[in-house]
């Protein structure tokens, strides 16, 4: 399937930011979206757990989907402080980010744990946005492709399809730093991810591969034009409606 037939996804990751008052930004975004030509992409925002339900309510009449930023592998039980994928679905989420580098690092999440979380997302009928990416040291050591394909091999379960899984390539050193890899480096990693997906999955050619790491309005068009880049996972620039909308410009005719 060609690039044109993969509907791009632009997903915002609010991380540990946002209070109920921040929903005003979401209302502003809906207003902006209504006032402009529709972007040729799907849009999602992944707020902290505390806002998933309220944001879903806020976005009910819009085409903007809501996602969680993590989930526990189990459906329910004695896991103080954790949230299940079923709870996210119940709150109105459609997507769940899994395996973000901040979780891999801060919570020592292994590929095995991430694999079980992706399966939990599917059990709840949601779509996993599964993150992979190398650290700066790994890039300097020439290990980028091995790291990324290794993460895919171990974290992405066998049942992945174009409908239940989205891959986000996020070089760890580019997250929140303002630094972005060269276009040729992005192209090389996305091509390797595409190769892995095609080899393993019947719909590997149709799965979306997002780029994430310091995406903003000023670099989105260039990044989104790279072959096999099917959208973006956006951190900092997703917090303000105008900044997020500037990224969507990349997909406006
Ligand atoms: C992210 O957290 O997934 C991310 C890409 O952050 P930023 O856009 O701020 O680099």
H-assigned helices in 67-202: 85-90, 101-106, 111-123, 136-140, 144-155, 183-200
Give the span between the Cα atoms of 172 and 167, in whole angstroms.
15
Q: What is the pLDDT of residue 74?
A: 98
Is the CB of residue 223 below 6 angstroms from any atom belonging to ligand 1? no
Q: Could you tell me which residues come within 8 angstroms of residue 200 by beta carbon, excluding any fewer than 6 positions away?
A: 156, 158, 160
Q: What is the pTM of this model?
A: 0.97
- Report the half-sphere exposure of 213 (CA within 13 A, side-chain side): 26
Q: What is the pLDDT of residue 5?
A: 82
Among candidate residues 25, 72, 100, 196, the one labeled active-site is 100
Q: Are 144 and 112 in contact (CB under 8 A)?
A: no
Is the CB of residue 175 below 6 angstroms from any atom belonging to ligand 1? yes
Radius of gyration of the chain (CA): 17
Is the CB of residue 233 below 6 angstroms from any atom belonging to ligand 1? yes
Closest-CA residue, ligand 1 atom 6, reads 235
Give the span between the Cα atoms of 41 and 91, in whole angstroms.
23
- Report the half-sphere exposure of 98 (CA within 13 A, side-chain side): 36
Q: Ligand 1: distance of its center to the CA of 130 in Å? A: 14
Which ranges of the chain have pLDDT less than 50?
1-4
Residue 100 annotated in active site: yes
Q: Are 42 and 74 in contact (CB under 8 A)?
A: no
Total H helices, total E strands in the chain = 10, 8
Q: What is the pLDDT of residue 118?
A: 98
User: Which helix or strand (DSSP H or E) is residue 184 part of?
Assistant: helix 183-200
DSSP assigned state of 249: G
Q: What is the pLDDT of residue 3?
A: 44
Give the span between the Cα atoms of 245 and 250, in whole angstroms.
9
Residue 196 annotated in active site: no
Q: What is the pLDDT of residue 2?
A: 45
Mean pLDDT score of the chain: 97
Q: Ligand 1: distance of its center to the CA of 124 in Å? A: 26
Give the ligand 1 atom nearest the CA of 170.
Answer: 5
């Amino acid at each position: 399937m060609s690039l044109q037939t993969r509907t791009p996804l632009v997903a915002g990751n609010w991380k540990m930011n946002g209070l109920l008052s921040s929903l005003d930004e979401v209302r502003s975004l809906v207003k902006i979206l209504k006032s402009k030509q529709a972007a040729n992409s799907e849009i999602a925002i992944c707020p902290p757990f505390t806002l998933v339900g309220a944001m879903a309510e806020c976005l009910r009449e819009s085409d903007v989907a809501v996602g969680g930023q993590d989930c526990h592998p189990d459906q329910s039980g004695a896991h103080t402080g954790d949230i299940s994928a079923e709870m996210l679905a119940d709150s109105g989420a459609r997507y769940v980010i899994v395996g973000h580098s901040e979780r891999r690092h801060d919570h020592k999440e292994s590929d095995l744990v991430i694999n079980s979380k992706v399966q939990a997302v599917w059990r709840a009928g949601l779509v996993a946005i599964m993150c992979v990416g190398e650290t700066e040291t790994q890039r300097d050591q020439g290990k980028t492709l091995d790291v990324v394909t290794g993460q895919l091999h171990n974290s992405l379960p066998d049942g992945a399809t174009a409908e239940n899984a989205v891959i986000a390539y996020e070089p760890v050193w580019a997250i929140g730093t303002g630094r972005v890899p060269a276009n040729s480096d992005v192209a090389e990693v996305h091509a390797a991810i595409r190769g892995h997906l095609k080899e393993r999955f019947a719909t590997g050619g149709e799965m979306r591969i997002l780029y994430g790491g310091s995406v903003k309005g000023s670099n989105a068009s260039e990044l989104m034009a790279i072959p096999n880049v099917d959208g973006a996972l956006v951190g900092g620039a997703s917090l303000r409606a105008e900044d997020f909308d500037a990224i969507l410009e990349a997909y406006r005719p």
